Each structure stands twice: as structure tokens, then as C-alpha cells.
Chains A and B, each alone.
Chain A
């Protein structure tokens, strides 16, 4: 079984984010890391291939400047190889443009299953996986909290507001996985060493036959016209508990007429 995992490399979410004032794009000056949301897809793919008794897991990613830091993490977890689409024209690409690029890369690889995180931790549009399925004219199941593959059918527990639905479709298919669906493994030392030698194929837009006008700012056909500071909430009183903090809370609840 061949499983492709779409992974995004993002600025460390623990660091404060900032928009570049000249472009209004998210600043990506620091090292990019594997989006935690995607580590679940990588783990799920590894487990599905193990359960199928064989096969491999390949990664697909897109970044404007040849970044591979996040890919190496996923390779160290156990993925076989990776395709990175990198081109300076990709800066400012929106969700639809991203899906066009990733689907073009995937269409060269004939997978049985494509996995992706439900949404990235920096852009969180939550639309790219479904767009990729659309571009590949493939069935898809979003918001998976459990995945099983039997023969050429993929069976998913799809998270819903009320609980979950059982959903199934034939492969090849795309499934987007929720965070927490599996416990991503920590790369072992051996895995980290092996990852350094694993093949990362770098492709530019020409290699995929994509015109640069379909991506970047032109392809996005939308413009950030202003960025404003949100009205800040005033921090109120902060007190240290000396064993009587609950009284303070009771008093506040009374003021609010909650009690």
C-alpha cells in the first residue's frame, strides 16, 4: 500500500507570529518545523502501512525557499521519502493554489491513500485537503478520528458535532485526520540519522507544468487591504491564592448575578 502524507512546514507556533508589513504575509524567517497537526497524519500512515503488511509512506510538501527541516522530522519518524515543491513564485499562494501544486505533485505518484491534517496550525483554512481531492477527482473523507483500510475500501470514523459517523469510500481516496487521532511517535536516534540520507526530491513549478500566474499573489486573486489591532481586552485583577481565592470568586459571581 502506498500512502502519501501532505505535510506543512510552519514557523514554530510557540514563537509569537508576525505579519511582514510590506507583503502582509506571515513572516517565515526562522527555521520551519513540522506542523504538529501533520504529525498525526504521518503516524497514521505508518500504522496503516504496518497493518497492511507492507508498503511505504511518502511525503509531499510545498515551501518557497527549499525548506526541509519539517520534512526531516517526518522522515525520521519513518516515512520513506519526500517530494518538496519549492519555487520563489510560491510566496503568497492561497489554499486553492496550494492544492493545485500539491495535487500536481501527487498525480505523479499514484497512491492508494492520501492523508492530510484537517487544518494547519498557522493558516488553519481547513480547505486544502478537500481541494486536493477535488483537483484529483477523488473521493474524500474529512475529520477522521479513526481509519481502517480493507482491500480497496477505506473506512473512517468521521467526527461530527454530535459524535461520529461511519463513512467509507473506495481507494484511491483522501482522508483528513484530526489532531489526537493517534499518538505520534518520537523519532529515534537511529531514525534521525537515517532521515539525513533519505531522498527529498525537489521540484519547481516548471517541472510540474504549473504556470506561475496560477500561484502566488496573482493566483490568489485576493488582497490584504489592511491589518488592524483588535480591541484588546483589559486584563483585570490577578490575585495569588492564599487559601481564600474561592471567596474572591464567590464575590465576583455575586456581582455578575450568576449566584
Chain B
């Protein structure tokens, strides 16, 4: 016995669906006989890849440009759910995913379970798995509601795999006017400059934290990352302090990374951070506090001053 239909809230841009969306498609496919996708925007540009990852249909609202989409997506999703009664709706743990799921939950009065990393089907209901306490324990939650199970999943919880199927049929859905609640408009977009490997898919990540002492010291993280062909990341503490942009944040609130090697420099290893990086294959930690929790997950731990160890390491790498 399995679930009949799972609807995936698909996100992406002109270049196609996001990696997270394809991960959700793959997970949904392993649980349900039928997987459909819902795009709050133009679904046509995503139909090929969504189809190749198992979507039988792609429901599309058409462009919602200039609007903050959560409210609008939820209104259209509600109509979709009431017409087609999927057993579950999967969302990515993203800003728009959270906004949409939250608005939808209120509209259809159904619970949402967030931060999941796994899903299974047990005794006729969907069960989702959420890591707690920095990933030291996993909580398994069964949906007991009379309606679709709404679940949000963290990035990199599943491996995306194509089925080799063709493009999915795109089905236009009516936009639903949510009234005053939908009146937030986007008046400008600002992108920070990005260079080098991206955090999401870099094989090596070098991150800095509060132990760097001052914003200028982050330059050595960038330099070390450059020498290792790595992406540079950061703990929440120095993002909050404004040293580096949010796009670099690794952790609960930032990015989840699972590189071959993660180098944590001056990072103590707060729960918030561990959740985002403990899935790394190998971990090197440099920290002056021998009691720092980061050493509990490191394959190689160096108890020492980042201001001495990193420059020496950079020097040694340069002279090779």
C-alpha cells in the first residue's frame, strides 16, 4: 500500500526547477503512485525537468511577477487541493515554501510539519522525520489529520534522480485573488555579487566564525578557500554581526552543506551551525577552546589560534 498522489510545490527560475525541488520529486516518487507539481509562476519552463523527475502533471498559475508569492500561491493551491485531493503536499524549507505552506495551512485548517529530512509511509499515514538538538536525535511525526499532509523538507535530505521520463503536461490553474492579504509587492531586486564555487555544491567549504575576532580576518578564510578551490561560508554569529552576507551562512537558518571536506575556522559548533554541516564527509576544525562542541564532530581537530594556524597553512599551500 502506498500513497496515491503527492503534490510538490515546485520552485525555480528561468533555468528550471531548483535542486531542492528535484530532491522532493524523487522522495515523493518513492512514496506515491502519482506525483504532480505545482508552480506558482510559469510552469512551462520547468515541465521538461519536472517530467524527467517523475511529474505526471505540472499545474501552473502563470506569471505572478511583482508580487510576494506566498499568499497568491496558497490561494491557488487551495483550489487545486480541493479539486484534486492529493494525500500530501511537499514543500522545500525555503522562504516562499514556508510562506505558502503557512498561508495554506490557515486556509484549509490543516497542520504543517517543518524541517524534515525524511518521509515514509507507515500504517496508512505519512510519517516525517525531523532532526532535533543539533541533529543528535530524530523525531518521527505521524500525520493524524483528516486532509492532506503538509510537510516541509530541508535541502539535501534526498538525492535527486531522474526517471528518464519525458516532459510533463502543463495544466493552467486559475489565479485566485486573496484580497488585501495579497497586497505586498516587490518593487526592486538586489543581487549580491558572487564569484567562485557556490556553497550549495562545492566539494570543499571553508567557514569562519566568531573566533576570527574581527571582520578583516575573514579575508584569510577567502584566501584559504581560494587555494583549496573551495566555497567560503560563515557561522550565524558573524553574519548577524554584519561581517559577511547572509548568502554565506551555514546552519539551521542558512544553507545546509554536505561537501567532501568542511573546514571550520574559529567556529565553536553551536547547534545552529552543526545542523548545517555535520553531514559533511570529512571535517577539519580549528578552534582555541578545547571544549568546543565542533571537536565532537571533527575528523581532525586542531586546538589552536586561527590567526597562527591559518596563515601558516596558507603559506604552506602557496609554497607547494
Q: Which residues of A contact B (CB under 8 A)?
A: 13, 16-17, 19, 24, 94-96, 99, 118-119, 121, 124-131, 133-135, 137-143, 145, 158-170, 173, 178-180, 220-230, 232-233, 235-241, 243, 245-250, 252-253, 256, 258-259
- A230 with B137: CB separation less than 8 A: yes
CB of B255, distance to nearest CB on chain A (Å)? 9
Q: Which 4 A-B pairs have the closest CB atoms?
A: A241-B304, A180-B240, A134-B106, A130-B102
For B311, the closest partner residue in chain A by CB is A246
Residues of the B chain whose Cβ atoms lie less than 8 Å from the Cβ of A168: 184-185, 187
- A239 with B186: CB separation less than 8 A: no
* Given known A221-B111, A241-B303, contact A167–B68 (CB-CB < 8 A): yes
Bound state CA distance, A75 and B107, in angstroms? 34
CB of A120, distance to nearest CB on chain B (Å)? 11
Residues of the A chain whose Cβ atoms lie less than 8 Å from the Cβ of B303: 238-241
Residues of the A chain whose Cβ atoms lie less than 8 Å from the Cβ of B107: 134
**Which of B68, B95, B204, B253 is the one whose CB lies under 8 Å from A258?**
B204
- Taken residue by residue from 53 to 81, chain B's Cβ proximity to chain A (1 for < 8 Å, 0 otherwise) reads as 00000000000000010110010000000
- A235 with B296: CB separation less than 8 A: yes
- B138 with A230: CB separation less than 8 A: yes
- A220 with B111: CB separation less than 8 A: yes
- B111 with A222: CB separation less than 8 A: yes
- B139 with A24: CB separation less than 8 A: yes
Bound state CA distance, A129 and B106, in angstroms? 12
Residues of the A chain whose Cβ atoms lie less than 8 Å from the Cβ of B300: 236-237, 239, 248-249, 252
**Which of A131, A162, A245 is the one whose CB lies under 8 Å from B247?**
A162
- A96 with B111: CB separation less than 8 A: yes
- A96 with B301: CB separation less than 8 A: no
- A225 with B103: CB separation less than 8 A: no
Considering the complex, which residues of chain B in the window 109-146 have a beta carbon less than 8 Å from any beta carbon of chain A? 109-115, 122, 127, 131-133, 135-146
CB of A124, distance to nearest CB on chain B (Å)? 6
Considering the complex, which residues of chain B in the window 286-306 have a beta carbon less than 8 Å from any beta carbon of chain A? 286, 290, 295-305
- B106 with A131: CB separation less than 8 A: yes
Bound state CA distance, A245 and B309, in angstroms? 7
* Given known A124-B115, A134-B181, A141-B184, contact A253–B143 (CB-CB < 8 A): no
B313 at the interface (CB under 8 A from A): yes
Bound state CA distance, A228 and B137, in angstroms? 6
B163 at the interface (CB under 8 A from A): no
Bound state CA distance, A249 and B181, in angstroms? 54
Bound state CA distance, A163 and B189, in angstroms? 8
CB of B190, distance to nearest CB on chain A (Å)? 4
CB of B194, distance to nearest CB on chain A (Å)? 8
Residues of the B chain whose Cβ atoms lie less than 8 Å from the Cβ of A169: 68, 183-185
For A37, the closest partner residue in chain B by CB is B253
24 A-B pairs with CB atoms under 8 Å apart are: A95-B112, A125-B112, A128-B102, A133-B181, A137-B179, A138-B180, A139-B180, A139-B183, A158-B186, A160-B189, A164-B190, A167-B68, A168-B184, A178-B246, A222-B143, A224-B140, A236-B298, A243-B308, A245-B302, A246-B316, A252-B282, A252-B299, A256-B282, A259-B317
CB of A206, distance to nearest CB on chain B (Å)? 21
Residues of the B chain whose Cβ atoms lie less than 8 Å from the Cβ of A245: 286, 302, 304, 309, 312
Bound state CA distance, A40 and B251, in angstroms? 19
Residues of the A chain whose Cβ atoms lie less than 8 Å from the Cβ of B247: 161-163
Considering the complex, which residues of chain B in the window 183-206 have a beta carbon less than 8 Å from any beta carbon of chain A? 183-192, 194, 203-204
- A163 with B136: CB separation less than 8 A: no
Residues of the B chain whose Cβ atoms lie less than 8 Å from the Cβ of A127: 98, 101-102, 105, 112, 114
CB of B65, distance to nearest CB on chain A (Å)? 12
- A227 with B138: CB separation less than 8 A: yes
- B261 with A256: CB separation less than 8 A: yes
- B105 with A249: CB separation less than 8 A: no
CB of B314, distance to nearest CB on chain A (Å)? 8
Residues of the B chain whose Cβ atoms lie less than 8 Å from the Cβ of A221: 110-111, 143-146
> Apart from A142-B70, A249-B313, what are 11 other A-B pairs with CB-CB below 8 Å?
A94-B111, A128-B102, A133-B181, A134-B103, A137-B180, A161-B247, A167-B68, A168-B184, A221-B144, A252-B300, A258-B260
* Given known A94-B111, A124-B252, A163-B192, contact A239–B240 (CB-CB < 8 A): no
- B228 with A259: CB separation less than 8 A: yes
- A223 with B95: CB separation less than 8 A: no
Bound state CA distance, A146 and B109, in angstroms? 32
- A140 with B184: CB separation less than 8 A: yes
Bound state CA distance, A99 and B112, in angstroms? 12
For A180, the closest partner residue in chain B by CB is B240
User: Which of A24, A138, A163 counts the most chain B CB atoms within 10 A?
Assistant: A163
Residues of the A chain whose Cβ atoms lie less than 8 Å from the Cβ of B144: 221-223
Bound state CA distance, A138 and B180, in angstroms? 7
Residues of the A chain whose Cβ atoms lie less than 8 Å from the Cβ of B299: 236-237, 252
Bound state CA distance, A151 and B27, in angstroms? 47
Bound state CA distance, A250 and B263, in angstroms? 12
